[in-house]
């Protein structure tokens, strides 16, 4: 491990230590296996300026995300989840601090490199699906492959395959307007996985879905990503996420309140209000 990594490791363990459950700790057991970081945020601050108004959306976030884990970023509306999501996903840059994706400093990339990173390494899933309405389900899924210069025949084969895997292979020729919300989100998941990314970022993926559909979608996302070894980072205030994530980051007013392992929140799941 490099010196820089070792240093920022310390930054992460401070925050890990807050929950008393992760971190390198004296026992040093199983945890060491997970010390392969796919994303690291160091002292990330974000200030939005609109005229006279300055909003401190993130006030200094340190966060290490392990390869292959399923992380939920939980917090009330306005707490900074989407802002953090945008930083981690290379969609926006911090006002202060650094974000590393697969050990690459996002701020150091030019626009071409950033586009490459977004296209190949990251799959995005949004609350409102963001499918292109004039394209079929299959075309929506193959589009990112086209951007990644995948051969059209191969893109088509892979597109069919992944649509089957999300359970809507038979709808490949349908346009989004003829699909339910759940079906559209399945297409969006297929699109996010199209280029076999290292990370899938999902911002409130179940917010527009009913409870049962939302739960099905999350279970499917979890299973697919586990199978493919993809890291999932999901910003949400949907407590169903608690049942399946590996870790939860609780964020409030632009700061991380605590980080918990899934097994440590068992008791709380049934007692959180609003579910």
Residues 6+ apart with CB under 8 A from 20: none
Min dist CB 46 to ligand ADP, Å, is 8
Q: According to the binding rule CB under 6 A, does residue 78 interact with ligand ADP?
A: yes
List binders of ligand ADP among 188-247 (CB under 6 A).
none
Is residue 140 a contact point for ligand ADP (CB under 6 A)? no
- The span from the CA of 186 to the CA of 162, in Å, is 10
- Toward ligand ADP, which CB reaches closer, 30 or 53? 53
The residues binding Mg ion (CB under 5 A) are 81-82
50 binds ligand ADP (CB under 6 A): yes
Work out which of 8, 15, 22, 79 binds ligand ADP, going by CB under 6 A.
Answer: 79
Q: Give the C-alpha separation, 247 to 99, whole Å.
A: 19
Q: Binding segment for ligand ADP among 29-37, 70-78, 130-138, 187-195 (CB under 6 A)?
A: 70-78
54 touches ligand ADP (CB under 6 A): no
Tell me if 80 contacts ligand ADP by CB under 6 A. Answer: yes
Contact criterion met (CB below 8 Å) for 133 and 210: no
Q: Provide φ and ψ at 244, rounded to 5°.
A: -125, -10
Which positions ≥6 away from 92 have C-beta within 8 Å?
A: 46, 83, 86
Which partner, Mg ion, ligand ADP, none, binds residue 171 by CB below 5 to 8 Å per kind? none
- Report the residue number, 55 or 164, with the smaller CB distance to ligand ADP: 55
Cβ(183)–Cβ(105) below 8 Å: no
> 67: which 2 tokens?
């390869």
204 strand-pairing partners: none
Sheet with 96-101, edge to edge strand ranges = 53-66, 37-50, 96-101, 104-105
Task: Look at residue 259 and give the partner it binds from ligand ADP, Mg ion, none, a contact being a CB closer than 5 to 8 Å depending on partner kind.
Answer: none
In angstroms, the CA 200 to CA 123 distance is 5
By beta-carbon proximity to Mg ion, the closer residue of 81 and 247 is 81
For the bound state, the minimum distance from the C-beta of residue 219 to Mg ion, rounded and expressed in Å, comes to 22
Q: Does 33 bind ligand ADP (CB under 6 A)?
A: no
In the complex with Mg ion, the residue whose CB is nearer, 46 or 165, is 46
By CB under 6 A, tell whether 89 contacts ligand ADP: no
- 256 phi and psi angles, rounded to 5 deg: -80, 120
Report the residue count for the chain.
275
200 contacts which partner out of ligand ADP, Mg ion, none, CB within 5 to 8 A by kind? none
81 or 121: whose CB is closer to ligand ADP?
A: 81
Q: What are the backbone angles phi and psi of residue 220, rounded to the nearest 5°?
A: -70, -45
The tokens describing 170, both together, are: 């038979």
Q: Which of 57, 99, 193, 265 binds ligand ADP (CB under 6 A)?
A: 57
Q: What is the binding site for ligand ADP (CB under 6 A)?
A: 48, 50, 55, 57, 75, 77-83
């Amino acid at each position: 491990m490099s010196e820089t990594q070792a240093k920022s490791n310390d930054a992460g363990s401070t925050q890990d230590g807050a929950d008393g459950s992760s971190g390198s700790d004296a026992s040093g057991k199983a945890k060491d296996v997970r010390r392969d970081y796919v994303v690291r945020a160091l002292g990330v601050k974000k200030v939005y300026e609109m005229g006279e108004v300055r909003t401190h959306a993130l006030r200094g976030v340190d966060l290490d995300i392990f390869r292959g884990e399923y992380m939920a970023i939980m917090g009330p509306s306005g707490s900074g989840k989407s802002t953090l999501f945008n930083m981690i996903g290379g969609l926006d840059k911090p006002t202060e601090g650094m974000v590393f994706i697969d050990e690459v400093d996002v701020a150091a990339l030019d626009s071409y490199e950033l586009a490459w990173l977004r296209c190949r390494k990251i799959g995005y899933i949004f609350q409102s699906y963001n499918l292109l309405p004039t394209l079929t389900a299959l075309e929506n899924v193959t589009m990112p492959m086209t951007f990644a210069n995948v051969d059209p025949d191969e893109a088509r084969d892979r597109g069919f395959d992944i649509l089957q895997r999300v359970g809507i292979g038979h709808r490949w020729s349908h346009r989004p307007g003829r699909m339910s919300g759940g079906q559209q989100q399945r297409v969006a998941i297929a699109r996010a996985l199209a280029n076999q990314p290292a990370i899938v970022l999902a911002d409130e993926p179940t917010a527009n879905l009913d409870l049962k559909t939302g739960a099905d979608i999350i279970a499917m996302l979890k299973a697919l990503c586990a199978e493919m070894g993809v890291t999932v980072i999901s910003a949400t205030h949907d407590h169903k996420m608690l049942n399946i994530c590996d870790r939860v980051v609780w964020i409030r007013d632009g700061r991380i309140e605590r980080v918990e392992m899934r097994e440590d929140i068992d008791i709380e799941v049934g007692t959180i209000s609003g579910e």
